[in-house]
Amino acid sequence: MKLTLKIWRQANAKAKGSMQTYPIDGIEDDMSFLEMLDVLNEGLNDKGEEPVVFDHDCREGICGSCSLQINGEPHGPDRGVTTCQLHMRKFNDGDEIVIEPFRAKAFPVIKDLMVDRSAFDRIQQAGAYISINTSGNTIDANSTPIDKHDADDAFYAATCIGCGACVAACKNASAMLFTSAKVSQYALLPQGQVEASTRVLNMVEQMDKEGFGNCTNTGACEIECPKGISLENIARMNREYMAASAKG
């Protein structure tokens, strides 16, 4: 398979970036998108040129670090997958593929296709901890009754890998889907009730402080999310936020 790659190159956070064109050949259908970029970088290294920097780690759809905008879509044209799970059979011989970093004020470019997503870490840290008695007669977690539907919803919310596709897909670069998933995974469980009010207030405040935009309910975030995190989490977070604000 022969392809033409148009890739965003940026030397560092302060440098002015631009799109560079790279022809590539010998790409097989069963290669992952990241393996295709590996082939490109091997060729660039052989020619003494600077390889393209992109983020990756597990390459199993778990860590969420392989965050690339491919032909205008976070993680590319497939659904329910991360970039590392995207295979080249989704493209055709002779295709032109545009590859960019996720674009958001809160995700500044570090170099080339790598962005700084530490804003997500700070939002989670703002949620703080869960209070559980660990001294004396500690209660076994399995002895706490939890409604099956609540347990399932909490589990589904917790599958968010923090890749940032929701932010990249949103016209306002909103982090509402990510933040609401992290709020929901605790708000649905009895163990998360002690700090529930302060948690949602602090996380939303930090989200706004990081410079993410507002949600306009277009639903692009849910469609592009590789884990299918539901918009219902945003509605739940809004209810939690209103209730916590009323208490204050």
Per-residue pLDDT, averaged over 97-112, amounts to 97
Q: For 161-176, what is each residue's pLDDT tens digit?
A: 999 999 999 999 999 9
Confidence class of residue 129 from pLDDT cuts 50, 70 and 90?
Answer: confident
The pLDDT of residue 167 = 98
The pLDDT of residue 143 = 77
Say if residue 237 is exposed, middle or buried (CB neighbours under 10 Å; 0-12, 13-18, 19+): buried
Q: For 31-81, what is each residue's pLDDT tens digit?
A: 999 999 999 999 999 999 999 999 999 999 999 999 999 999 999 999 999
Contact indicator for 183, 127 with CB cutoff of 8 Å: yes
Reference 229, options 175, 131, 158, 140; nearest CA is 158
- Judged against a pLDDT cut of 70, whether residue 238 lies above it is answered with yes
Say if residue 53 is exposed, middle or buried (CB neighbours under 10 Å; 0-12, 13-18, 19+): middle
Q: Which residue ranges form the domains of the chain, and what is each CATH number?
A: 3-111 (3.10.20.30), 117-133+142-247 (1.10.1060.10)
* Residue percentage of the chain with pLDDT more than 70: 96
Q: For 207-232, what is each residue's pLDDT tens digit?
A: 999 999 999 989 999 999 999 999 99
